[in-house]
């Protein structure tokens, strides 16, 4: 939906949300069941949702979901760390073996065939070393991404509490900025709003009274 406006019989401008399909010919208007929605109604619903989130009981429910999500991510980080430690140990052993073969080639006398076999083994260990380093690079990157997925509850709490305390002094631009910073997407249903916030990776559903 996009914002639009019109004038009532008293020539007063009022705003509403309009389904983008309403611009299309009638036969193409299939997806949008709610063609028009009054903007003040939706804004009030969204405003009240943020106010309710700052209440202890409502935020506690959200906080518990975040804690469970973070625990799941922490478990994955620990699994990745365990794999990294195992591969680092394997890499050290591979390096030692390779160095031993190289030392042997330098310090000892071998027949041409024996030297060739040792040289071949050294190359195999070098290839194994490269593969292990590549695996470790991927795991370190994966671990870094996992750590970034951890949700900072304190930042969310501070943002919501600040909104509750200061919203009365917000200009229209500040309020819009807060919504833009906090909301990814809103899906409207006659009986509920489904909101995708930017600070959590799942959707939250809010029943409309």
Cβ contact 54:160 at 8 Å: yes
Element (H, E) at 52: helix 39-53
Whether the pLDDT of residue 168 is over 80: the answer is: yes
Whether the pLDDT of residue 107 is over 70: the answer is: no
pTM, full prediction: 0.77
Tell me: the pLDDT tens digits for 88-97?
999 999 999 8
CA distance 140 to 131: 14
pLDDT at position 25, please? Answer: 63
Compute the average pLDDT of residues 175-185: 93
Cβ contact 122:70 at 8 Å: no
pLDDT at position 130, please? Answer: 94
Whether the pLDDT of residue 121 is over 80: the answer is: yes
Query: Residue 27 corresponds to which tokens in the numbers above?
Result: 């036969």
User: What is residue 19's three-state secondary structure?
Assistant: coil
- In the numeric block, the tokens 């020539």 are attached to 11
Angle CA 206–208–209, to nearest 5: 130
Compute the average pLDDT of residues 133-140: 97
Tell me the three-class secondary structure of 108-148, residue by residue.
Answer: CCCCHHHHHHHHHHHHHHHHHHHHHHHHHHHHHHHHHHHHH
Mean pLDDT over all residues of the chain?
87
pLDDT at position 187, please? Answer: 86
Element (H, E) at 205: strand 203-207
Compute the average pLDDT of residues 79-86: 97
CA distance 116 to 5: 83
Whether the pLDDT of residue 48 is over 80: the answer is: yes
pLDDT at position 22, please? Answer: 62
pLDDT at position 78, please? Answer: 97
Cβ contact 121:101 at 8 Å: yes
């Amino acid at each position: 939906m996009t914002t639009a406006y019109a004038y009532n019989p008293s020539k007063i401008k009022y705003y509403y949300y309009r389904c983008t399909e309403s611009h299309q010919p009638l036969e193409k208007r299939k997806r949008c069941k709610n063609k028009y929605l009054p903007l003040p109604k939706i804004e009030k619903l969204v405003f009240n949702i943020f106010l309710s989130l700052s209440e202890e009981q409502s935020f506690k429910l959200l906080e518990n979901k975040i804690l469970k999500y973070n625990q799941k991510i922490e478990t994955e980080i620990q699994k990745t760390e365990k794999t990294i430690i195992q591969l680092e140990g394997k890499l050290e052993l591979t390096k030692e073996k390779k160095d031993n073969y190289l030392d042997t080639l330098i310090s000892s006398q071998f027949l041409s065939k024996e030297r060739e076999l040792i040289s071949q083994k050294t190359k195999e260990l070098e290839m194994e070393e490269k593969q292990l380093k590549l695996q470790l690079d991927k795991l370190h990157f994966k671990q870094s991404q996992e750590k970034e997925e951890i949700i900072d509850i304190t930042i969310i709490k501070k943002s919501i509490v600040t909104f509750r305390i200061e919203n009365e002094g917000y200009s229209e631009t500040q309020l819009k900025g807060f919504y833009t910073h906090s909301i990814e997407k809103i899906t409207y249903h006659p009986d509920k709003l489904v909101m995708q916030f930017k600070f959590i990776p799942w959707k939250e559903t809010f029943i409309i009274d």
